[in-house]
Amino acid sequence: MTGLPGGGGLADRVASLREQLGDAARAAGRDPGELTLIAVTKFHPASLVRELAALGIRDVGESRHQEAAAKHAELELDGPPAVRWHFIGQLQSNKARAVRRYADAVHSVDRVSLVSALEGSGDSSERDLDVFVQVNLTDDPGRGGVPREELGPVVERVLAAEGLRLRGLMAVAGLGADPARDFAAVRELRDRVVLPLAPEAGALSMGMSGDWREAVAQGATHLRIGTAITGNRPLAA
Ligand SMILES: *Cc1c(COP(=O)(O)O)cnc(C)c1O
C-alpha cells in the first residue's frame, strides 16, 4: 500500500514515507542511512512538532521567521522536543541574527550580504550554523536562490565566514520543469563548483512531497517534505 490517500493518521504517513524512502534509496543503489528526512511543519501548530518528535522525527523545516520563532519559543516553555530546526524559506538579512538563535541550519542562503548577516560573532558560546547555498534553477529571481553562474563567490564567502559550516546546495525544482533534470543539474553544480572548494560539503537538500523520488535518484541527502507527512496545510493566515 502506498500513499494512504485520504486515510491513515500521522504515524501511518510517517511510517509509510520512511518505508518508501528506504525503498527508493535502495533502488538507486544508495544507503537509506544517508538520507535526512526533514518534516516541513509550516502553517501547522507547534504541537505538531511535538507529535512528530514522538514519532522519531529529528528534523523539522520552517519557512517563515515569525512563525518559526513563535513555535520554537512555545515549545521551549515545557521541555523542548529533541529536534533540529531547519530554516528553508527566503530570508531577509535583518532577520538573520534572530533566525540564528533557534535554527540549526539555514537552507536558503542565496547572497553574499546574507552570509555576512548570518556570520558568527566569534563568541565561543555561539553554536555553529549549518548552511546550504540555494541555487535558483529558473529565470525568475523571485523564486529565491543564487543564479548558477554566481554560485562560486557565494560558496567561497560561506567558507570564509566565522561560525558557518557549509553543508552543500539546496534547490527547489522549477514549476513545470522535469524534476529529475533539475536535480541532476544541482548535483552537477555541486561536483563542479562546490566539491573542488570544499570536499566535505557534498550534501544536497532537494526533493519535496511531489518530487522526492526523483531527488533521491539524483543523490539528495536532505528531503524537505511537508504535505506527504502532515496532510494538507491549513490555509495561510
Ligand atoms: C513548503 C516547502 C517544502 C515542503 O513542500 P511539500 O510540497 O509540502 O512537501 C519544501 N521546501 C520548501 C522550500 C518549502 O517552502
Q: How confident is the model at residue 123 (pLDDT cuts 50, 70, 90)?
A: confident
pLDDT class of 5 with cuts at 50, 70, 90? very low
Q: Tell me the average pLDDT across 5-32.
A: 90
Query: Which of the listed ranges 1-10, 142-151, 213-222 does the model predict with the highest average pLDDT?
Result: 213-222
Check residue 78 and give its pLDDT: 86
Residue to mutate (ligand 1; options 67, 86, 88; most atoms within 8 A of CB): 88
| Mean pLDDT, range 179-199, rounded to an integer | 98
In 3D, which of 214, 171, 176 has the Cα closest to residue 189? 171
* pLDDT category of residue 233 using cuts at 50, 70 and 90: confident
pTM of the full structure: 0.94
Average pLDDT over residues 45-72: 97
CA angle at 152 for the pair 150 and 153, rounded to the nearest 5°: 80
Q: Whose C-alpha lies nearest to ligand 1, atom 12?
A: 88
42, pLDDT greater than 80: yes
**Ligand 1 pocket residues where CB is under 6 Å:** 40, 42, 63, 88-89, 172, 208-210, 224-228
Assign 3-class secondary structure to the chain.
Answer: CCCCCCCCCHHHHHHHHHHHHHHHHHHCCCCHHHCEEEEECCCCCHHHHHHHHHCCCCEEEECCHHHHHHHHHHHHHCCCCCCEEEECCCCCHHHHHHHHHHCCEEEEECCHHHHHHHCCCCCCCCCCEEEEEEEECCCCHHHCCEEHHHHHHHHHHHHHCCCEEEEEEEECCCCCCCHHHHHHHHHHHHHHHHCCCCCCCCEEECCCCCCHHHHHHCCCCEEEECHHHHCCCCCCC
Q: What pLDDT, on a 0 to 100 scale, did the predictor assign at position 3? A: 42
Q: Whose CA is nearest to atom 4 of ligand 1?
A: 226
Our measurement of the distance from residue 224's CA atom to the centroid of its chain's CA atoms, rounded to an integer in Å, reads 5
Instruction: Count Cβ atoms below 10 Å from residue 87 Cβ, excluding itself.
Output: 27
- The cell numbers describing 73, all together, are 519559543
Tens of pLDDT, residue by residue over 147-166, are 999 999 999 999 999 999 99
Which residues are within 8 A (CB) of 20 and not within 5 positions of it... i.e. 6 or more apart? 2
Instruction: Check if the beta carbon of residue 79 is closer than 8 Å to that of residue 50.
Output: no
Ligand 1: atom nearest CA of 88 is 13
Q: What is the CA radius of gyration of the chain?
A: 17
Q: How many whole angstroms from 44 Cα to the centroid of ligand 1?
A: 13
Better pLDDT: 120 or 86: 86
Higher pLDDT, 111 or 6: 111
Report the half-sphere exposure of 96 (CA within 13 A, side-chain side). Answer: 22
